[in-house]
Chains A and B, each alone.
Chain A
Amino acid sequence: MAPLAEFGYVGSAAGLFVALGLGIAFGFFLERGGLGNAVKLAGQFYLTDLTVFKVMFAAIVTAMLGLFWLAALGVVQLPLVFVPPTFVLPQLAGGVVFGVGFVVGGLCPGTSCVSASSGRLDGLAVLGGMVVGIVAFNEAFPLIAAFYGATPLGPLTIPQALGLPHGLMVAATVGAALLGFLAAERLERPAGAARG
């Protein structure tokens, strides 16, 4: 019966209201967690503030577990959920360029929207820079189209690629995240104690 839009319960106009509502909630929680603050985000890369890691992996684990159980209970038809297709080399290269941009700019595309709308001019500048980057990419696209489409693997999940049961991979990811949370709390402790 779900995804609702795939079964015709949500049309394209209603879908746009859903987009607005989910976006508002997404932006709200990003700001609540402090992810509209570039200094806080950049702290992730100097190991002084691991909020980015904690928020991101708590969100990934929550959505992953929810989807796994809803699929196991037959509520969601997992094959109807859109999995972003894998392109190995462009996604590795894009990740590298993006990661450098993240630590230079201190915000990512979604969090720069939150930073800008909470009044921060540096967030607005990140948005301006992003538009410049997208235009540059698009203008250069005829030259890089071949690389952009290189090493396609289609919509591929890690359990499919490794031939492992989905549930095992979900459990392993939860375990890794929990270990990561413990490590994050330990890493932050000295700085937190110094601040009182």
Chain B
Amino acid sequence: MPARRPAQPYLNPYLAGVGIGVVLLLAFVVMGRGLGASGAFSTAVATGMAVTAPGHAAANAAYAAYLPDGPTSLFSDWLFIEIVGVTIGGLLSALLAGRFRVAVDKGPRVSVRGRIAYALAGGALMGIGAKLARGCTSGQALTGGALLSVGSWLFILAAFAAGYLAAPLVRRAWT
């Protein structure tokens, strides 16, 4: 194996933001809707439940709402296909920039096992929070933010306020 190619520096954040803004604008103009992320996982989870325990999924509105076409809903779900695209786009960019690496991104003081535990716990909290709020940083903050939706801006303010308040408690994970 040759020595690893040095990774390119990241793109200027304002340019990356304008790029994402143009993508979001295209979504509004072409589809009449914005981007999203957590909704794709709601559909994936509902599909998994519909396959393994169909009666259970049908009896609970939280699953049933994501299964308009039953267990095949996943492949006609706009957000799920969009998220498949997001993973492809992320992979492409990482490969082109020499940033693809099987590794764990973590703060200097936390163990790999600790970082994975934080990631699992944070993911679980975000899953619950995004369900309650009907969206995440993509569907609420970016999309609803650009549309000046009242609920989306309440979500943005609440999420950042809580993040800053909780940050000192998990400083060991990051600094």
Q: Which residues of A contact B (CB under 8 A)?
A: 2-6, 10, 12, 15-16, 18-40, 42-46, 48, 51, 54-64, 66-67, 70, 75-76, 80-88, 90-123, 125-139, 141-142, 144-145, 148, 153, 155-159, 161, 166, 169-170, 173, 181
Which 5 pairs of residues, A with B, have the shortest CB-CB distance? A105-B122, A23-B85, A133-B127, A129-B123, A62-B21
Q: Is the CB of B87 within 8 A of A132?
A: no
Q: Is the CB of B86 within 8 A of A104?
A: no
Cβ of B124 under 8 Å from chain A: yes
Q: Is the CB of A36 within 8 A of B94?
A: yes
Minimal Cβ-Cβ distance residue in A for B89: A27
Complex Cα gap A145–B93 (Å):
40
Q: Is the CB of A109 within 8 A of B41?
A: yes
Complex Cα gap A46–B152 (Å):
24
Minimal Cβ-Cβ distance residue in B for A38: B105
Number of A-B contacts (CB under 8 A): 537
**Distance to closest chain B CB from A92 (angstroms):** 5
Which residues of the partner chain B approach A158 to less than 8 Å between Cβ atoms?
148-150, 153
**Distance to closest chain A CB from B148 (angstroms):** 5
Cβ of B61 under 8 Å from chain A: yes
Q: Is the CB of B142 within 8 A of A56?
A: yes
Complex Cα gap A146–B62 (Å):
13
Q: Is the CB of A137 within 8 A of B127?
A: yes
Chain B contact residues: over half helix, strand or loop, or mixed?
helix
Interface size class of B (residues with CB under 8 A): 35 or more
Complex Cα gap A149–B133 (Å):
10
**Distance to closest chain A CB from B73 (angstroms):** 13
Which residues of the partner chain A approach B140 to less than 8 Å between Cβ atoms?
84, 91
Given A22-B23, A109-B37, A129-B121, A97 and B132 contact (CB-CB distance below 8 Å) = yes
**What 5 additional pairs, Cβ within 8 angstroms, besides A27-B85, A142-B60?**
A33-B13, A58-B20, A76-B29, A94-B134, A100-B163
**Distance to closest chain B CB from A171 (angstroms):** 12
Q: Is the CB of A95 within 8 A of B86?
A: no
**Distance to closest chain B CB from A140 (angstroms):** 9
Given A59-B17, A81-B32, A103 and B89 contact (CB-CB distance below 8 Å) = no
Given A22-B26, A114-B87, A158-B150, A133 and B158 contact (CB-CB distance below 8 Å) = no
Which residues of the partner chain B approach A33 to less than 8 Å between Cβ atoms?
10-11, 13, 15-17, 19-20
Given A56-B17, A98-B126, A88 and B154 contact (CB-CB distance below 8 Å) = yes
Which residues of the partner chain A approach B76 to less than 8 Å between Cβ atoms?
12, 16
Interface centre among A84, A139, A166 (most CB of B within 10 A): A84
Partner of B131, one of A43, A55, A94, A169: A94
The interface bits of chain B over 122-156 (1 if a CB of A lies within 8 angstroms of the residue's CB, else 0) are: 11111111111111111111111111111111111
**Distance to closest chain A CB from B86 (angstroms):** 4
Partner of B89, one of A25, A104, A120, A136: A25
Minimal Cβ-Cβ distance residue in A for B161: A99
Partner of B81, one of A20, A28, A156: A20
Partner of A126, one of B93, B126, B147: B126
Complex Cα gap A184–B13 (Å):
12
Interface centre among B16, B37, B44, B156 (most CB of A within 10 A): B16
Complex Cα gap A88–B133 (Å):
9
**Distance to closest chain B CB from A30 (angstroms):** 6
